[in-house]
Structure 1
Amino acid sequence: MLINVGPDGFLLTDTGRLMGSSKPVLFGISNLVEKLGMPLEEVCRLSSLNVAHKYGFTDRGSISAGKYADLLIIDDEYQPIHTYSEGRIVYDRTVDKELFNQAYLAEVRVK
């Protein structure tokens, strides 16, 4: 696989996909904050708004009126507590039941 560095500094595969990591995003966020001392707010911007801008998504990546309400609430150990997709709660660590329904998944994938 060919890896390209775009003029904006993003690493891309030869098919134009943004290069990622084999580790979960929360692992990377915790490393940047805990090991490199970056402010959590800056790391959140890097992992959301910058990616949205890279792909031209003006309706995602930050919290403001009219944007998709996709949010992840984490604890001090960088573990998910709640996950919201388009304002709907799809994961709640404090509840012992399945919140996510497959019909909603199909609906979101269509967009």
Structure 2
Amino acid sequence: MEPYHLITVHRSSGNRTLLDAALAKSNIKLRWFYEVTHLSTSLGLVEAGLGISVLPRMATPREDHPALITRPIRNPEISRTIGVVRRRGGTLSPAAERFLEMLIGVWGT
């Protein structure tokens, strides 16, 4: 990756924590060129041609993006757990309740 400027998010980001841990476990050392606060800033720098970035798939653009290409990283593989947050004791609209049930039905454990 030497010919590329590497873009990462700040160390306080949970994404960065996961990435650093996976890299350390695999004895991979990268030299970051840019460190940004937001994932969207990272994407903007990549789109401007200033480097490449490692991002969660959920933060990457769709496949038909006119300027960016996303490729999965298989080794080291990094995963994270996500969840749904809702107000305790609050009520949801019938549509939101059905959506939540669908999410839990598909991805819930």
TM-score, normalisation: structure 1: 0.25
- Which structure has the highest helix share of the two? 2
Higher strand proportion (structure 1 or 2): 1
Q: TM-score, normalised by structure 2?
A: 0.25
